[in-house]
Amino acid sequence: MSVRRTRLIACALVASCAVTIGACSNNDSGNSADVSVSTTTESAAQFHADAVDPVTAASISDPQDDPGLHLTYEIQDANYNSEGSGSVIYVLVRNNNDVALPIDALGTPTLKVNGQDVAPVESGSLGLDLPLGPHSATNLAFAFNTSYNNLYQATFQIGNVIYNGNIANA
């Protein structure tokens, strides 16, 4: 290699190092621009339940609107609890809201047989495990510690809707 070529390579190396080091400096002079960043967030719509008196369903087999939660319920079936003791009431729940229904908004449904409260059973029950999306539907299962044969004279309340009569005949 010639001396001239070595000097040329050394100069090129020094120049590239100077550019690299200059680009990494904290010197505020030069072409620095003031950048302002701002974010805007829209407030997301929140679920709102209205305080209403419970309504009694005209029929066990027809869909019933819940005026407080803005849901529609339809009892799909009642059957023996195949996962434990008692009976299970299956309910189709439709969310008529423009926002998701929170998991805890529905509350715990209740059942009375011959005027006596019936305890819920964990095994066999399937409640909401995720929020129910706007204008969507899901089937839920509510297990109670009573015989399927006792559902002929029952009072089942879900949300703000009360069903009276033969739940087993849904």
- 170 pLDDT band, cuts 50/70/90, is confident
Three-state secondary structure of 18-36 = HHHHHHCCCCCCCCCCCCC
Domain contains 42 = no
pLDDT in tens, 100-141: 999 999 999 999 999 999 999 999 999 999 999 999 999 999
Structure tokens at 108: 């715990």
Q: Give domain status of residue 77, yes or no.
A: yes
Secondary structure percentages of the chain, helix, strand, coil, to 5? 20, 35, 50
Span 44-89, pLDDT tens digits: 689 998 999 999 999 999 999 999 999 999 999 999 999 989 999 9
Instruction: Indicate which CATH number applies to the domain containing 146.
Output: 2.60.40
Report the domain count for the chain. 1
CB-based contact 90:77 (threshold 8 Å): yes
141 is a domain residue:
yes
Residue 6 lies in a domain: no
Its domain, for residue 83, covers 55-169
Neighbours of 170 (CB within 10 A): 20
On whether the pTM is more than 0.85, the answer is no
What is the reported pLDDT for 96? 98
